[in-house]
Chains A and B, each alone.
Chain A
Amino acid sequence: MNFELSDEARMLQDGLRRFLSGTYDKATREAATASTTGFVPKVWAGLAEMGVIGALFSEREGGFGGTGFDIALVFEELGRAGAVDPLIDSGILGGGLLSAFGQDGMLEGVIDGSVHLALAHAEPDSRYDLARVTTTAERDGDGWRLSGRKAVVANAPAAERILVTARLSGGPADRAGIGLFLVEADALTLRPYPLAGGGMAAEIALDGTPAILLSDDAFAALARVHARATLAICAEALGLMEAIRALTTDYLRTRKQFGQPIGKFQVLQHRMADVLIEIEQSRSAVLNLAGHIDAEDRDRHVSATKNLIGNAARLVVEESIQMHGGIGMTQEYDLAHLARRLTMVDHRFGDALHHLERFIALSEA
């Protein structure tokens, strides 16, 4: 047993933390919000140059990491800075699927930061069910044509190419018969919009849209990249919790009411203590998942961790705002962005409720 980071990992962590704390000020965040892509190209280039995207992929894939612990390390730091860059979308999901289906040329572009991708998988009625795909695919000469609707496709406004799932056979919720396609972004109708937690997404309409088939049976690969993306977002949530903890403990120490720092009031001390306990639980849950990301019982760990993080995130957000009082409700104060982003974690890759049921089902099996 060893909970220490390797020397290489510590170097990456230090470098990334330094880069992000020097880069992610309010002006950067505002520039990201004001942009059409939801992030700042200079920051993205800086991350790619540091090798942050490469850390998400194995040496065989052209990266230098790719383990669960690499993913956890990178995303905890991104969360700590409140970063909004689409590393999950272009990297974990997009790059992960390219790797699964032998698109090594394009993967190289992902790792050096020059290619942006998005995964258009979820549909307006699919909620968090990974197997529910009703978008249709029709053969057209050598290629295919896709028709359907895709919902809340993160990073679609920045992506040059979009990975799209469509049903080739079977019923609407069958795992078998889900195809994965590559579509040029300018062949699609996008309705772009900002996300409450930062970044951009789009609703996508496919109407006989030309597409190239990458796989005619993509479910296992989709499940794998979603497991890794869930680890990433859980680690990011942990980083967000740490940043919120720092703001809140500072506030409890310095804000005075009734002639003393409010942190002297026992009711707030106990509540802050509960928050700290749940943050430590979250850290352990992220480690559990990182250590089992390639294990046979991966999905049971995915659900356990995502459920715990969803519940802990709600506690951390609600208690930190409450302990701040009115100031915690203002856009101007950093907590607003961190709390919104942390709140939105529960709405991606399945919420606490979804993963509670899934955990029960997987535990019975």
Chain B
Amino acid sequence: MNLDYTDAQKAFREEVRTFLDEKLPERLTDRGRAGRALTKADHEAWHAILNDRGWLAGNWPVDFGGTGWDAVQRHIFEDEMTRAGAPRIVPFGLAMLGPVLQKFGSKAQQDHYLPRILNGDDWWCQGYSEPGAGSDLASLRCEAVRDGDHYVVNGQKTWTTLGQYANMIFCLVRTSREGKPQEGISFLLIDMETPGVEVRPIVLIDGSAEVNEVWFSDVRVPVENLVGKENEGWTYAKYLLTHERTNIAGVGFANAGLETLKRIARAERDGDRPLIENPHFAARMARVEIDLMAMATTNLRVVSAAAAGQAPGAESSMLKVKGTTLRQEINALTRTAVGPYAMPFQSEAVEGSNEAPIGPDYAAQATAQYLNNRKLSIYGGSNEVQRTIIAKILLEL
């Protein structure tokens, strides 16, 4: 047993650090640290820098223009990225659609779409959830009816993250009502410029507008945009969900959040001492840190098993529950730490105004982030759904 990286892995980590030192623009890390949303151009600029280095598609095989990294390398890369405060790679094309096309897409789809994901020609978004189909995704109703060389799509998708930036959407659509609900679902690629597609923003509880409703009325989609076989989309969707799970614990985000929290707790005065010396507050921070130290190792155990080719079982669900709960606790402690300066509503700071924040700069986004990150235990399969998965595997009932 040895908890350290191998020499080769350490050398790789050095290489990643050097790259981030040299190439990561300070402008982007500053925005991220202030909790401010990046613009579309910011995301695209960062993708282009990574693509130049050949490191944009960490989870793609070399044949498709990816890095060919194993799970440990991917973990090291993601860990160093968050540590450096780099923007998250927008996952929809790279982490979600890419692997599905590589496994189930036609040669023509692979040749057309994969390079466009890498060079930034397409911005993809995900059309899965519907108002009536959340945790129960298989009950989705957005419908695609075959009409000659086209499907005609009607219905509504929701919670479409960054859909306002996207020109393409991959959708789960209903193509049959026979049999079990899972058996009539197809995986369709839709150009959002097509007549009949409408995107409407949803303003969230923190004032941000990162998610959208997408409406389809008589949208004609060429049949060659069907991925794989008709009515087998559920299989592809599940593949996508199991495939994209290496960073599910969000260890890097939690570490960065805890570091910020400590910085705030040292700066905040609580009577005659800094807040970090308040024993009740310190105890709650310590509990989080202790949990996080263990979770980081759980995460590495899973990463290591994945690198050795073992299929993930309940572990990714465990990491999702533990990781999101920890990050939410860090958000709650941060909100507590900033005290009365949690009260000003400073949502415009999210979109990047130049006005100085009310109170200390580290307080400006504490409430917004606390509220916004309530989503962590809801999206990507709610934590209730994850616990059911864990229990099913465990109890075999």
Residues of A within 8 A of B (CB): 122, 124-125, 127-129, 132, 151-152, 173, 191, 193-197, 201, 203, 256-258, 265, 267-268, 314, 318, 321-322, 325-326, 328-332, 336, 339-340, 343-344, 346-348, 351, 353, 356-357
Contact = CB atoms under 8 A, between A and B. Distances in A.
A353 B278 contact: yes
Contact of A348 (B205, B343, B345): B343
B392 to A, nearest CB: 13
A347 B383 CA distance: 28
B340 A330 contact: no
Nearest to A202: B358
B389 interface: no
Nearest to A356: B280
A328 B377 CA distance: 12
Interface string B365-392: 0010011001101110011100100000
B203 interface: yes
B340 A151 contact: yes
Contact of B203 (A331, A339, A348): A331
Contacts of B270: 127
Contacts of B379: 326
Given A151-B341, A353-B281, 6 more contacts: A132-B271, A265-B384, A326-B129, A343-B335, A346-B336, A351-B336
Contacts of A353: 278, 280-281, 336
Contacts of B132: 256
Nearest to A194: B345
A346 B129 CA distance: 34
Interface stretch (B134-142, B252-260, B307-315): B134-142
B342 interface: yes
Contacts of B359: 124, 151-152, 203
A258 B387 CA distance: 16
A241 B313 CA distance: 39
B342 A347 contact: yes
B378 A331 contact: no
A254 to B, nearest CB: 12
B378 A325 contact: yes
Given A321-B374, A326-B158, A347 B205 contact: no
A326 B340 contact: no
A173 B378 contact: no
Contacts of A125: 269
B358 to A, nearest CB: 6
B204 interface: yes
A329 B136 contact: no
Contact of A336 (B205, B341, B346, B370): B205
A265 B387 CA distance: 13
B319 to A, nearest CB: 19
Contacts of A191: 358
- The residue among B280, B339, B346, B375 with the most chain A CB atoms within 10 A of its own CB is B339
Contacts of B343: 152, 195-197, 201, 344, 347-348
- The residue among B204, B268, B332, B378 with the most chain A CB atoms within 10 A of its own CB is B378
Nearest to B377: A322
Contact of A257 (B135, B204, B358): B135
B159 interface: yes
A50 B374 CA distance: 39
B345 A196 contact: yes
Contact of A195 (B332, B339, B345, B382): B345
- Top 10 A-B residue pairs of the complex, sorted by shortest distance between their CB atoms: A257-B136, A331-B203, A196-B345, A336-B205, A194-B345, A347-B342, A152-B340, A258-B136, A127-B339, A321-B374
A331 B340 contact: no
Contacts of B134: 257, 325-326
B202 interface: yes
B340 A128 contact: yes
Contacts of A339: 205, 371
A330 B203 contact: yes
B280 A122 contact: no
Interface in B119-164: 129, 132, 134-136, 139, 158-159
Nearest to B132: A256
Nearest to A317: B374
A340 B371 contact: yes
Given A124-B359, A257-B135, A343-B367, A330 B345 contact: no
22 contacts: A151-B359, A152-B343, A152-B344, A173-B272, A193-B346, A196-B367, A201-B344, A256-B132, A257-B136, A267-B384, A314-B332, A321-B374, A322-B374, A325-B134, A329-B371, A336-B204, A343-B370, A344-B342, A347-B343, A351-B336, A356-B280, A357-B280
A306 to B, nearest CB: 14
B257 to A, nearest CB: 17
A21 B139 CA distance: 37
Contacts of B374: 318, 321-322, 328-329
Nearest to B129: A326
Given A330-B202, A340-B371, A353-B280, A152 B341 contact: yes
B329 to A, nearest CB: 10
A276 B258 CA distance: 32
A128 B339 contact: yes
- The residue among B272, B344, B383 with the most chain A CB atoms within 10 A of its own CB is B344
A325 B382 contact: yes
Contacts of B278: 353, 357
B35 interface: no
